[in-house]
């Protein structure tokens, strides 16, 4: 797929569904590539596999800011990631098979646990005082 087709497709999606910024859609493609690169052979990945790869990639790229970045993009749950994926499918920018559904993305993990737990010290949450 050409960069122009991708850019145009994402622009159209955001115009129809402004819940998520364009950066969120580009990140899904990056997370998909990250997920595929960690497989022995490239193949279709399930929603759960993509969610796992997205979580790992977000932690690798953004570290303890992963949840904050996602919130800035409008992503607050695994269901939101599913909405992004299925918006891309509807725009013919991603493909799905008959077994893929939004149910794959429901309640897969809690964002606070997934993105904050790795950065807690001695079992205590890390808080930043920005004042």
Calpha distance 112→99 (Å, rounded) = 29
pLDDT the model gives residue 122: 57
Per-residue model confidence as pLDDT tens for the chain (131 residues): 688 999 999 999 999 999 999 999 999 999 999 999 999 999 999 999 999 999 999 999 999 899 999 999 999 999 999 999 999 999 999 999 999 999 999 999 999 889 887 777 655 555 555 45
The half-sphere exposure of 74 on its side-chain side, counting CA atoms within 13 A, is 14
Calpha distance 85→18 (Å, rounded) = 14
What pTM was estimated for this model as a whole? 0.88
pLDDT the model gives residue 16: 96
């Amino acid at each position: 797929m050409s960069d122009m087709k991708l850019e145009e497709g994402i622009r159209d999606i955001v115009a129809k569904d402004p819940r998520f910024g364009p950066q969120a859609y580009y990140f899904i493609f990056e997370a998909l590539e990250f997920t595929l690169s960690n497989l022995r052979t490239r193949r279709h990945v399930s929603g759960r596999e993509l969610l796992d790869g997205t979580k790992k990639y977000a932690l690798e790229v953004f570290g303890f800011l992963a949840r904050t970045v996602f919130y800035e993009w409008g992503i607050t749950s695994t269901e939101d990631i599913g909405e992004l994926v299925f918006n891309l499918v509807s725009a013919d920018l991603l493909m799905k098979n008959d077994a893929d559904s939004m149910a794959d993305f429901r309640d897969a993990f809690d964002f606070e646990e997934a993105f904050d737990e790795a950065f807690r010290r001695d079992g205590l949450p890390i808080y930043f005082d920005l004042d």
